[in-house]
Structure 1
Amino acid sequence: MVDMIILSYAQNEELKLMTENCIHSLVASEDPEHIQFNIIVIESEKGIAPYQYENTTTVYPDEIFGYHRYMNIGINMTSSPYVCLCNNDLIFHSLWATEILKAFSKYYDLSSASPYCSIHHKKMGFNMNNGIYPGYRIRYEVAGWCIFMKRDILLTTGKLDENYEFWCADNDYANTLYVLRIGHALISTSIVDHLESQTLNSQTQERQDELTSEEFFYYEKKWNLRLGTDWEKFS
């Protein structure tokens, strides 16, 4: 069983359909006799409550939005050995989870992974179906839109830092793994395509600024002391 936590903001029919397409591709991606998904959708659009996306448990938190805050809600609702943190602008390809679990089985020191995006990662110099790429660089080895982890790493890292409302959440996760020496890699045989910030781009410029500006100041203050200038490699 893999717990899938998907954040959604179905402000309109187009964004709702994007979440539905994400879920449909996920359900179709694996044989349920081999891998089952427990899908939790954390929906920010309260206006469609109590709507339940098919094959999911859909929840509408009372808490104000925060990327890590909402991910922690999903994590706290679940208990499987593996948990995957996802945006809703994803398309899952066949056997993507199988390939990550194979890598976890083969590399004993690997506890966190991201799948390969055929739209994005080729432009970053990674080849599909070319093994694993260990590392902690954002948008390179760490694809913040889809992070697959062994749940037990949370015993070491603690819960996700809820000071991040939206931006820099993946940077913080990468730095945490790096400092604690928890292995992470991009799995080039696991394909999940990212449609690039569809929900964020639908917001007004003012709202985008609210979601992104203050995060950088907190991030720099938190990690400058721990890593010195070394934190810049993950930005």
Structure 2
Amino acid sequence: MRTRKRKGTRSRVSLNAAYDNGYNTGYNAGHSQGYGLGYQKGIDSYAAGFEGTSIVIPSYNQRTYLADCIESIGKHTPEPHEIIVVDNGSTDGTADYLRSLKKRTVRYKICERNLGFAGGVNQGLMMARGTTLLFLNNDTIVTENWLSNQLACLHGKERAGLVGPMTNYISGEQLIGTSYRTTEEMHRFARSFNRRDPGKWTTVERLTGFCVLMRRDVFRRIGYLDEGFEIGNCEDDDFGLRGRLLGLDLVIAKDTFVHHVGSTTIKTLTPAQFEEMYARNLAFYSDKWGDTRALLQEVSAHWDGGALAVNDFYPSHVTVKGTGPTVYWVENGVRRPLDQSEGVRATRISQIELKNWPVGDPIPSAEWNAKQAALMVAASPEEPLAEGELALTPDGKLHQHRGGRLHRIVSAWASEAWSLNRYRVRTLTESEAAGYAPGLPIIAPPVVKADNI
């Protein structure tokens, strides 16, 4: 007997299928949209950072010391924080140790080669999300109240830009004599020592880089460490000097103690290797800065309460680039992308420095070429100084003119770094030079070698 189909069965099946298809389509669309919104919110919150301290630790072949350092941070840092370790191409199993840690304990980056102290710190600073940033040697053991005391100093002392603690092994004013012989004795000493006392917050001319704390806004104003310094030594002096040029104070929190084994990476060099490296770093520092005391005195006249940034010490009428392929023409504090930049020589700067300049309209290559040519061709002595033109004063100092002011170029290295040595130079008489007010001096940008900074 043939079974008769019930009326409307096909239509109900079709309706159900259509409903299912519509439901699935709507669900998939809603899921994709929700996932996209969540993903973007995650990116935005990551970029926004968090109210806490990013602790950046560069490390090279000191796995045991690094483990002790990380363990001490976990025990003695109740304040909100994150730990970022940059392994500088270690060969002692440091990378495997870092991979064995829980991700919520440490974020890390494994580098294929040794980037040096400055390069390692820079990689960590790029990864950092905290509102305060701290770089720390891997051969340190932190102590009770070590971070809370330094944060109190950073936020409680007027004009504090960079803050560091006292320690047992260092050069300069941060050194304190100790007699402990074990880690337990050290922690007992530190508990007694680390009693908050604003009267012990001391402004100094130099902070060593084994432990340095700063606000994120200060980092944005100073920029990255200079990777022109090899392995280690002098890059902390360079960084501190840039902070002082901005009118910020370097402060020792003399109510805070952090244990430091000291020079564990440097000690892997032979005495001859160390002397050669240190001599090159000293020469680089000297070539870059010249007379630093005279420079600070010169700049102090411009500390009027405004928040200076390192870009205020950079020249005008120069060509720069960051991490991407875009090349910019910087003129009077505005960066304009070149519409054609193939083969154009540009000074490499970090993304932080690049973004400190607002973006203007693109500049056509014909206009850019004309501006370059005008600065290279000798002008009549009777004509007033053009914007961006270089001038030599009777005291033998080279300046760039802009806005009616003469901005002294602090060194030949700075001139070369910005390619200003390609421009013509006008020689001024004493009376002509007196007609221009002095502006902020022009300094060289820090060397950045990594493609991602």
The TM-score with structure 1 as length reference comes to 0.82
Aligned match for 1:122, one of 176, 188, 200: 176
Inter-CA distance 207–19: structure 2 relative to 1 (3 Å threshold): farther
Which residue is equivalent to 2:237? Answer: 171
**Aligned counterparts, 1:4-83, within 5 A:** 4-10=55-61, 15-31=62-78, 35-47=79-91, 48=93, 49-52=95-98, 54=101, 55-62=105-112, 64-83=114-133
Aligned match for 2:204, one of 112, 123, 135: 135
Is 2:65–2:138's contact at 8 Å kept on the other side of the alignment?
yes
Tell me the SS of whatever aligns to 1:218. helix
Please report how far the alpha carbon of residue 155 of structure 1 lies from its aligned counterpart in structure 2 after TM superposition.
2.1
Residue ranges of structure 2 left out of the alignment (5+ in a row) = 1-51, 178-192, 298-453
Please report how far the alpha carbon of residue 154 of structure 1 lies from its aligned counterpart in structure 2 after TM superposition.
2.0
Rounded to whole Å, the distance in 2 between the matches of 1:223 and 1:151 is: 25
The answer to whether residue 202 in structure 2 is matched with residue 155 in structure 1 is no
Tell me the SS of whatever aligns to 1:159. coil
Rounded to whole Å, the distance in 2 between the matches of 1:229 and 1:111 is: 19
Rounded to whole Å, the distance in 2 between the matches of 1:215 and 1:183 is: 24
Rounded to whole Å, the distance in 2 between the matches of 1:64 and 1:16 is: 15
Rounded to whole Å, the distance in 2 between the matches of 1:84 and 1:29 is: 15
Identical counterparts, % of pairs: 21
Please report how far the alpha carbon of residue 194 of structure 1 lies from its aligned counterpart in structure 2 after TM superposition.
1.3
Please report how far the alpha carbon of residue 186 of structure 1 lies from its aligned counterpart in structure 2 after TM superposition.
0.4
The farther-off stretch of 57-66 and 172-181 is 57-66
Please report how far the alpha carbon of residue 62 of structure 1 lies from its aligned counterpart in structure 2 after TM superposition.
3.6
What per-residue deviation string (whole Å, max 9, x for no partner) do you get for residues 157-177 of structure 1? 122212112221111122112
Residue ranges of structure 1 left out of the alignment (5+ in a row) = none
Inter-CA distance 229–105: structure 2 relative to 1 (3 Å threshold): closer
Q: Pick the structure with greater CA Rg.
A: 2
User: Which protein has greater RCO, CA pairs closer than 8 Å, 6+ apart?
Assistant: 1
Which residue is equivalent to 2:3? Answer: none
Runs of 4+ aligned residues of structure 1 deviating over 6 Å after TM superposition are none
Is 2:165–2:256's contact at 8 Å kept on the other side of the alignment?
yes
1:163 corresponds to which letter in structure 2?
Answer: G
What per-residue deviation string (whole Å, max 9, x for no partner) do you get for residues 80-127 of structure 1? 11111111111101011100111223224212100111455225xxxx
Tell me the SS of whatever aligns to 1:5. strand
The farther-off stretch of 206-215 and 97-106 is 206-215
Which residue is equivalent to 2:41? Answer: none
The CA RMSD measured in Å over matched residues stands at: 2.4
The TM-score with structure 2 as length reference comes to 0.44
Is 2:76–2:145's contact at 8 Å kept on the other side of the alignment?
yes
The answer to whether residue 273 in structure 2 is matched with residue 204 in structure 1 is no
Which residue is equivalent to 1:89? Answer: 139
Is 1:115–1:143's contact at 8 Å kept on the other side of the alignment?
no
Please report how far the alpha carbon of residue 205 of structure 1 lies from its aligned counterpart in structure 2 after TM superposition.
3.5
Rounded to whole Å, the distance in 2 between the matches of 1:203 and 1:226 is: 29
Aligned match for 2:252, one of 166, 169, 186: 186
Rounded to whole Å, the distance in 1 between the matches of 2:80 and 2:273 is: 37
Inter-CA distance 179–191: structure 2 relative to 1 (3 Å threshold): same
Is 1:27–1:37's contact at 8 Å kept on the other side of the alignment?
no
Aligned residue pairs total 216
